[in-house]
Structure 1
Amino acid sequence: MKIFLCVVTLTIFAACSKADEVPPKFKTREDAGVVVRGKLFDKLFATYIKENYAENTTVQDADKDVMNTNVWMKMVNSSLRFGSTNRLTWDESEFAINVLRVPAEKVWLPDITLYNGVKPSMDCAPMNVLVYPNGEVLWVPPCRLQSYCNLTLNLGPYEEQICTLKFGSWTFDGFTMGLELSNNKTLVDMKNFHNLNYKVTKNTAVREERTYDCCVEPYFNILYTLGFQRKAEVGRICEEH
C-alpha cells in the first residue's frame, strides 16, 4: 500500500528574483540568480557547522502514511518559533531569494528513528532541504520503512489488523529537541489512500511524553496507530462437496 502526503505540494516555492529587470552587470536573470545564490551560500555557510546543533530545537514530525514500507515524511525545523538563535537566516530584500535549496548533508538533521523498525535506521533518499529567510528548514524525503506488526489470523483472513509506528529521536531528550504533530493533527491524512483489497478501520496519531527513573529530562515520541481489514471478495462463491 502507498499513501502520499498532500501537504508536500504546499511547501514548494519558486526561487527567483523579484525584479523583472536584469541587473546592469548581468546578461540574463539566470546569470544574476547564480551569482546572488552564491553570495547567499557564502554568507550562510561561512560559519555554519552542522554538527553544532541549536538548543531548544523543535521538529514537527508530520503525517506518515504507511503500509507497506513506502513513506513520504515531512520534517520542519521550527526552532525559530521558540526564541532560539537561528543561523540560517537572511534579509530577503537584500538577496531577492525566498527559498534556498541545499543538499541535505550540508545541514543538521534530527536523528528521528522508527523505534519499532526492523532496521535501526530509516532508508530515506538524500533529497534537498528547503531553507527559508526566517531560518525554517523543511525536509521532505521519501523513505522505505520496515516495522514490526503482530498480525493475528485466528479469525480468518478478514480479521482486523492493528499496526503501530513509533517515531522519536535516538539521542536527544525533550529539553534539547522537541517533537510535535504537524498542525496538531491527530490522525493520518488518508485522502490519497487507494487499495482494492483493504479498508482502513483505525487511524490515530498521538504525541507522547515519557520520563524514566534514570533521568529527569522528558523524551517525546509520535505514535501512529493504523487498523486495516481485508475487504470481502465480491462475487466469490464457495461450495461444499
Structure 2
Amino acid sequence: MATMTVFAFVLLYLCYFQNVTGVTEREVVDMLLTGYQKEGRPVQDPTQAVVTSLDVFLIQIVKLVPQRQVLIVNLWLLQRWKDDFLSWNPAEHGNISSIRLGINKIWRARLVHYNRQHEEGWSKTPDTNAIVRSNGEVLWAYPITIHSTCVLDIVNFPFDVQRCPLKFGSWTYDASSLKLLNVSVRGNMDEFIENGEWTLMSFDLEVNHVEYSCCPGVLWDDMTYTITIKRRSKFYVLYFVSPSVLMAFMAVCGFWLPPDSGERMFICINAFLSMIVLQQVANKHLPGTATTIPLINRFMGVGILLVFASSALTILTLSLLFKTFDLQPVPKWLRRIFCLGSPDPNIIRLAPEVSPKKVDANVLEVTELEDMDATFATDRAKATSQLVRRARKVLLQLKEEYDMMSRYEKIQKEWKIVAGKIDRCLLIAFFIALVVISGAIFGPSG
C-alpha cells in the first residue's frame, strides 16, 4: 500500500512538472513578437527617454595607416537597454527567464561611429542575436572591425604618441529621446591583444552632451573613447636613425684621411646619396600631407647639409693642396692662425721660367763676346771659349730650375701642412656640430 502511494505521488509530480515546463522558447518568442513594432521607441511613456548603456572592449589594434591617417581596430560592443514591450512573467511561461532574438526583429538604438571611414559601409554591423530577459532588459553584444579616422601628430616620429578618438552616438535621437549611460569610467582592456608596433597606454572614456548648429537648444549625447598608443621605436632606431647617424659620422670622419687621398670625395658622395635614400624610405611611414617635420626627417635634413658642407670644404681643401698655377707662399695671417712660424727667406714668389727679354740680352751678350773673340783670339781659342760659355750657361739654367723647384716644393709643403690642419679643425667642428644637433633633435626637449 505504501509503495502504491509513493508511485502515485511521483506520477502526479511528473505530470505537474511536465505541465509547468511544457512551454518552449518558441512559444515565448511568438507571444512577444505578435503585434510587436520595432520602429517605435520601446517605452510605455512617450515622454520618457530610452536609457542605453554602451561598453566597448578593445580587442586588437590591427594597423595604423599613416598615409590615410586611419586606425583599424577590432572591438567588442555591448549595448544594454530596456524594452517595455519585451517582458513576461517567467512563472507563467515555464520559468523561462531569457530568450535569444535576432537583432533585426526588435528595436535597437542604432548607435553609429561618427568618425568612421565610410568605405566599408555606414551602418554595417554583424547580424548577431540579442539576449532578452524577462524584465525587458536587452543585451546585444557583437564584434566589429572599425576603420576610424585619426589625425596623426608626427612631430616626434619615431618616438611619437598618438591619440585616436572613437565617437559613438545616435544619429537621429537626441538626449530627450535616447540617453547614453556609461557603465564604467574607461574602456575595457581585459581582452586586449598586444600589438608589435604600438603600445597601448590608455583607453579613456568621456560622455559628452553637445549642441549642434543644426538644432539650437537640443542636446545630443555621445560617448567618446580615446585610444592612446605609443610607437615602439626600436625598429625605426635600428633601420633608420642608426644608419643616418653612422652616415653622418662617416662623412665627418672623412676629414681624418690625408688631404691628398682620393677616397675622401668617394666617401662624401656615398654618404650623401645614402642619406637621401634613407629619407625617402622613411617618408613611406609618414602621412603624405604632414604639416610638421618629424624628428627623423629633421635629423636627416641636417645630416644631408653636413655631408654637403663636408664635400664642399673637401673640394676647397683639395684645391689648395693641388694648386699648380700662380702658387704663392702661405699668407701671414694663415701662418699666425696655424702657428707655422716665420717664412723661409728663400721662398719668394715664383717668376716665369724664362723671360723673353732675358733671352734677348743673353743672345746679345753672347754675340758681342763672339765678335770680340773673333778679333783677339785664334780659331781654336775661339771654339774653346764658346764651349766654356755654353757650359756655364747650361749650369746657370740648371741651378735656376733647381732653385725654382726647391722653392716650389717648400711652398707646396707648407700648403699641405695648412690643408692638414684645416682638416683637423673641420673634423673637430663637424663632430661637435653633429653631437650637438643630434642631442638637440633626439634629446628630451625634442
Give the TM-score normalised by structure 1.
Answer: 0.77
Whichever residue aligns with residue 53 of structure 1, its letter is R
Partner in structure 2 of residue 7 of structure 1: none
Partner in structure 2 of residue 50 of structure 1: 38
**1:166/1:199 Cα in 2 relative to 1: closer, same or farther (>3 Å)?**
same
Tell me the alpha carbon deviations over residues 187-237 of structure 1, each in whole angstroms, 9 at most, x when there is no partner: 122232222332123431011011245333321000111111122428958
Mapped pair 1:209 → 2:213? no
Please give the secondary structure, in 2, of the residue aligned with 1:63.
strand
Partner in structure 2 of residue 4 of structure 1: none
**Aligned-pair distance for 1:24?**
4.4
Please give the alpha-carbon distance, in whole angstroms, between the structure 2 residues aligned to 1:121 and 1:58: 23
Partner in structure 1 of residue 158 of structure 2: 157
Equivalent pair of 2:86/2:136 in contact (CA under 8 Å): yes
Equivalent pair of 2:158/2:233 in contact (CA under 8 Å): no
Please give the alpha-carbon distance, in whole angstroms, between the structure 1 residues aligned to 2:125 and 2:152: 26
**Aligned-pair distance for 1:136?**
0.4
Please give the secondary structure, in 2, of the residue aligned with 1:150.
coil
**Aligned-pair distance for 1:153?**
2.3
Tell me the alpha carbon deviations over residues 8-30 of structure 1, each in whole angstroms, 9 at most, x when there is no partner: xxxxxxxxxxxx9685479xx8x
Please give the alpha-carbon distance, in whole angstroms, between the structure 1 residues aligned to 2:196 and 2:155: 23
Partner in structure 2 of residue 69 of structure 1: 73
Please give the alpha-carbon distance, in whole angstroms, between the structure 2 residues aligned to 1:25 and 1:192: 44
Please give the alpha-carbon distance, in whole angstroms, between the structure 2 residues aligned to 1:163 and 1:174: 25
Please give the alpha-carbon distance, in whole angstroms, between the structure 2 residues aligned to 1:136 and 1:122: 23
Please give the alpha-carbon distance, in whole angstroms, between the structure 2 residues aligned to 1:179 and 1:25: 42
Partner in structure 2 of residue 199 of structure 1: 199
Please give the alpha-carbon distance, in whole angstroms, between the structure 1 residues aligned to 2:99 and 2:187: 29
Structure whose CA Rg is larger: 2
Partner in structure 2 of residue 105 of structure 1: 104
Structure holding more strand per residue? 1
Equivalent pair of 1:174/1:220 in contact (CA under 8 Å): yes
Whichever residue aligns with residue 39 of structure 1, its letter is E
Whichever residue aligns with residue 199 of structure 1, its letter is T
Q: Which runs of 4+ in 1 moved over 4 A?
A: 20-26, 234-237
Please give the alpha-carbon distance, in whole angstroms, between the structure 2 residues aligned to 1:178 and 1:71: 22
Higher relative contact order (CA 8 A, sep 6+): 1
**1:36/1:192 Cα in 2 relative to 1: closer, same or farther (>3 Å)?**
closer
Pairwise CA RMSD of aligned residues?
2.6
Please give the alpha-carbon distance, in whole angstroms, between the structure 1 residues aligned to 2:14 and 2:199: 54
Please give the secondary structure, in 1, of the residue aligned with 2:234.
coil
Mapped pair 1:41 → 2:29? yes
In the alignment of these two chains, the number of paired residues is: 208
**Aligned-pair distance for 1:102?**
0.6
**Aligned-pair distance for 1:64?**
4.1
**Aligned-pair distance for 1:42?**
2.2
Please give the secondary structure, in 1, of the residue aligned with 2:149.
coil
Please give the alpha-carbon distance, in whole angstroms, between the structure 1 residues aligned to 2:212 and 2:124: 29
**1:44/1:158 Cα in 2 relative to 1: closer, same or farther (>3 Å)?**
same
Query: Structure 2, unaligned stretches of length 5 or more?
Result: 1-12, 62-71, 248-446
Partner in structure 2 of residue 137 of structure 1: 138
Please give the secondary structure, in 2, of the residue aligned with 1:141.
strand
Please give the alpha-carbon distance, in whole angstroms, between the structure 1 residues aligned to 2:123 and 2:57: 13
Query: Structure 1, unaligned stretches of length 5 or more?
Result: 1-19, 80-85
**1:59/1:125 Cα in 2 relative to 1: closer, same or farther (>3 Å)?**
same
Bigger shift: residues 167-176 or 121-130? 121-130
Whichever residue aligns with residue 77 of structure 2, its letter is M
Please give the secondary structure, in 1, of the residue aligned with 2:31.
helix
Please give the alpha-carbon distance, in whole angstroms, between the structure 1 residues aligned to 2:107 and 2:230: 40
Alignment equivalent of 1:87, drawn from 85, 88, 97: 85
Please give the alpha-carbon distance, in whole angstroms, between the structure 2 residues aligned to 1:203 and 1:144: 17
Please give the alpha-carbon distance, in whole angstroms, between the structure 1 residues aligned to 2:18 and 2:75: 47
Structure holding more helix per residue? 2
**Percent identity (aligned):** 24
**1:159/1:97 Cα in 2 relative to 1: closer, same or farther (>3 Å)?**
same
Whichever residue aligns with residue 38 of structure 1, its letter is R
Whichever residue aligns with residue 71 of structure 1, its letter is L
**Aligned-pair distance for 1:142?**
1.1
Equivalent pair of 1:123/1:144 in contact (CA under 8 Å): no
Please give the alpha-carbon distance, in whole angstroms, between the structure 1 residues aligned to 2:74 and 2:232: 22
